[in-house]
Amino acid sequence: MAATILVTGGAGYVGSHTVIELLNSGYEVVVVDNLVNACQGKDGQPEALKRVEKITGKKVKFYNVDLLKLDELDKVFSAHPISLVMHFAALKAVGESVSLPLAYYKNNVSGSIILLEVMKSHGVKKLVYSSSATVYGTPQSLPLTEDHPTGQGCTNPYGKSKYFVEEILKDLVISDKEWSVVSLRYFNPVGAHKSGHIGEDPSGIPNNLMPYISQVAVGRRPSLSVYGSDYETPDGTGVRDYIHIEDLALGHIAAAKLLLSSLSGQFKVYNLGTGRGNSVLEVIKAFEEASGRKIPYTICPRRPGDIAASYADASLANKELGWTAAKTLHDMCADTWRWQSQNPHGFSSSEH
């Protein structure tokens, strides 16, 4: 009998791509999502999950549940023999978190605590946590390894919320050795499923570089703003470690296998990145090559809180999870363009 995995935030960008890999790996999948970051179809079902079912030919059990509603979450656990939880559900816009800190702490921290309480009451004590490289704050050295200090110099409430939950998870594992947790610190997830049927679909103005570039390429936005050209980097623009969403999803499969087979009584952390940095201008050039479209851009002043460079040392995930990022920057751009050109208005285009 295949293990049943509960995925919180499974209708979102990272969640939906991971659900595909879970289904393809033979797991039963139950998704809870309050659809705050997801497009809802006319039938109330998330558009992303309907497409996941088409891609995989398998069914996903979906519940429209907010993690802050303990009673509703409890019913989901009562209805399924859950072995492990993958916890993606979070508000995730860095800039917005600065203006709405209480909403971010309530959703990301309180929501996680309620999830853990319900898990505990049902004897489900295996968790894969969706964390972020923002927990490292301003890098003291590069590349970033898992033992780099966390929580120091976190520049926004989003990053702090991820750090706080990691600390809660550490304390939980210390208190009860039946718990085992893998926290995956993502660098910059980009790209889309190779089918072009699902991808990143931010509501409003994109906060991240790749969806912004792709919306310029498809004609939804006139030009790209490049924030800062005077950083101490090869071309003066910010350098980040971009990782293909499919590689990232496979990192979660590797973490689940470790938890379900051998890991117990431990809190483990792994960076998920390529180990290389690419500058903003390099990404623009790669996207122009992949799409055949010119990307007009303007250089603007630096944004507060932005750092010059951030990239991972991902060797621990390779050594202990047997995972490595395989896809190139060209793959990331080509797959993003396939998704965006087939779905110029994201998931909502199917509704028009």
Catalogue the active-site residues: 158
Q: How many CA atoms lie within 13 A of 249 on its CB side?
A: 26
Q: Give dist(CA 41, CA 35) in Å, integer.
A: 11
Q: Give dist(CA 48, CA 200) in Å, integer.
A: 10
Task: Fill in the amino acid letter for 177.
Answer: K
For 142-171, the DSSP string reads SSBPTTS--SSS--SHHHHHHHHHHHHHHH
Q: Give dist(CA 18, CA 218) in Å, integer.
A: 26
The one-character DSSP state at 302 is P
Helix 329-342 / helix 209-217 crossing angle, nearest 10 deg: 50
Q: 116 near 175, Cβ under 8 Å?
A: no
Catalogue the E-assigned strands of the chain. 4-8, 28-32, 61-63, 82-87, 126-132, 180-186, 188-190, 224-227, 239-240, 242-244, 267-272, 278-279, 297-300, 309-310
